[in-house]
């Protein structure tokens, strides 16, 4: 056997064992009546660098798979709603969005100042505690059968407004980190907003026409066409420094009619496979030994901001259980922390501990509430 063949065989066996292990964890979660996300995260923590049994898995392959998982989660969340429903919810959601920002950005900002970090690092920590994980929220709502609940559209409006806010926040912070001029900052923010509005307009105005063009009697053709569209729009969104998640979500909004029903049926298995990979990979990236010194800060922030997310959910829906579904932080928080690594070295560790705690406790809290 050649060296390449031996390496390929080893890689396939490791990936197969990891996926079978995730299946076992999903069975266990189903048996005890809890979401599988916390178990996926803990498994990644156990088998990542510094864990009890590190696995030399292909990081690039798993990272790509996990990114596709987030896109499919948000795409299928978008399938649940029409463009008109989204616009209506966004129009009525500005107050909830403002409350969400005030309640959840402030604790992170205050914590940064208490830790005597620089103002920009404190602003970044505020962003870490502000933005919920759309991927985890979508998975929790789906697992708990709450996608069709009356409070879900209002809760979804909060998530979408957070993702839209990232279209301004990320370019703004990025320009400040590199010391950009006021003109460069304004240009970056304007381009990001223009891209979001253009995609939103196309989804609402031409979604029905595009769905009829893409429809076909062949499942294979539908699968390839829709998945390709999701990846293209997400890639274009990333190129203009807009959330890939919001791009995938808007594609889901654009898909309507019979095509939406068939897409839901075709993509459900793929979503579950790649979503499990995402949460597992997130745990793999964290070294448990590096978190020991920042766990108290991460835990305190988690307790405060999970409570403020529940308050956010109550203000948005007048339902106490709603906010628990968006209590977890995830992909955006890690991206924000990565941007500020050069400004404050401890920001990444605090964010990792904080995200890990909320990502494990959030789905459990959603089930309990």
The CATH code of the domain that includes 105 is 1.20.1530.20
**Structural domain boundaries, residue 72:** 3-368
Q: Divide the 369 residues of the chain into consecutive groups of 10 and give the mean pLDDT of each group.
A: 72 79 88 77 77 64 70 77 69 83 95 92 92 82 81 83 76 71 72 74 77 84 89 82 73 80 84 79 76 89 95 89 88 74 81 87 85
pLDDT at 115: 92
Q: How far is CA 132 from the centre of its chain?
A: 7
pLDDT at 311: 94
pLDDT at 305: 96
pLDDT at 242: 67
Q: Give the orientation angle of helix 134-143 with respect to helix 258-284, to 10 degrees.
A: 120
For residues 132 and 309, the answer to whether their CB atoms sit within 8 Å is: yes
Within 8 A by CB and 6+ apart from 317, the residues are: 151, 154, 155
Phi-psi label, residue 196: left if phi above 0, alpha if psi -120 to 50, beta otherwise: alpha
For residues 367 and 146, the answer to whether their CB atoms sit within 8 Å is: no
When divided into structural domains, the chain yields a total of 1
The runs of H, that is alpha helices, within the chain are 3-32, 37-47, 59-79, 83-91, 94-114, 119-130, 134-143, 152-177, 182-214, 219-239, 244-254, 258-284, 295-317, 331-339, 346-368
Please give the Cα distance from 362 to 281 (Å, whole number): 18
Instruction: Measure the N-to-C terminal CA separation of the chain; round to a whole number of Å.
Output: 55
């Amino acid at each position: 056997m050649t060296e390449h063949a031996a390496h390929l065989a080893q890689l396939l066996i490791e990936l197969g064992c990891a996926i079978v292990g995730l299946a076992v964890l999903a069975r266990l979660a189903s048996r005890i009546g809890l979401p599988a996300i916390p178990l996926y995260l803990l498994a990644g923590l156990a088998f990542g660098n510094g864990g009890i049994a590190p696995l030399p898995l292909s990081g690039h392959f798993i990272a790509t798979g996990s990114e596709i998982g987030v896109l499919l989660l948000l795409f299928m969340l978008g399938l649940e709603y029409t463009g008109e429903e989204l616009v209506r919810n966004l129009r009525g959601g500005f107050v909830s969005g403002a409350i969400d920002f005030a309640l959840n950005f402030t604790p992170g900002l205050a914590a940064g100042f208490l830790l005597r970090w620089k103002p920009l690092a404190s602003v970044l920590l505020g962003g870490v505690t502000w933005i919920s994980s759309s991927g985890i929220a979508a998975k929790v709502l789906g697992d708990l059968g709450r996608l069709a609940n009356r409070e879900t559209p209002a809760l979804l409006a909060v998530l979408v407004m957070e993702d839209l806010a990232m279209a301004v926040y990320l370019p703004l912070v990025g320009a400040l980190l590199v010391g950009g001029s006021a003109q460069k900052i304004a240009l970056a923010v304007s381009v990001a907003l223009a891209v979001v509005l253009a995609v939103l307009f196309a989804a609402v105005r031409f979604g029905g026409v595009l769905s009829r063009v893409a429809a076909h009697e062949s499942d294979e053709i539908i699968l390839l066409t829709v998945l390709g569209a999701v990846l293209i729009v997400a890639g274009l969104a990333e190129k203009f420094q807009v959330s890939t998640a919001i791009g995938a979500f808007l594609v889901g909004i654009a898909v309507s009619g019979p095509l939406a029903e068939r897409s839901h049926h075709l993509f459900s298995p793929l979503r579950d496979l790649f979503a499990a990979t995402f949460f597992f990979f997130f745990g793999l990236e964290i070294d448990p030994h590096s978190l020991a010194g920042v766990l108290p800060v991460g835990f305190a922030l988690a307790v405060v901001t999970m409570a403020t997310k529940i308050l956010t959910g109550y203000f948005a829906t007048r339902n106490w259980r709603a906010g628990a579904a968006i209590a977890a932080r995830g992909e955006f928080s890690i991206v924000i922390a990565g941007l500020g690594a050069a400004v404050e070295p401890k920001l990444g560790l605090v964010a990792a501990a904080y995200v890990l705690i909320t990502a494990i406790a959030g789905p459990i809290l959603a089930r309990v509430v």
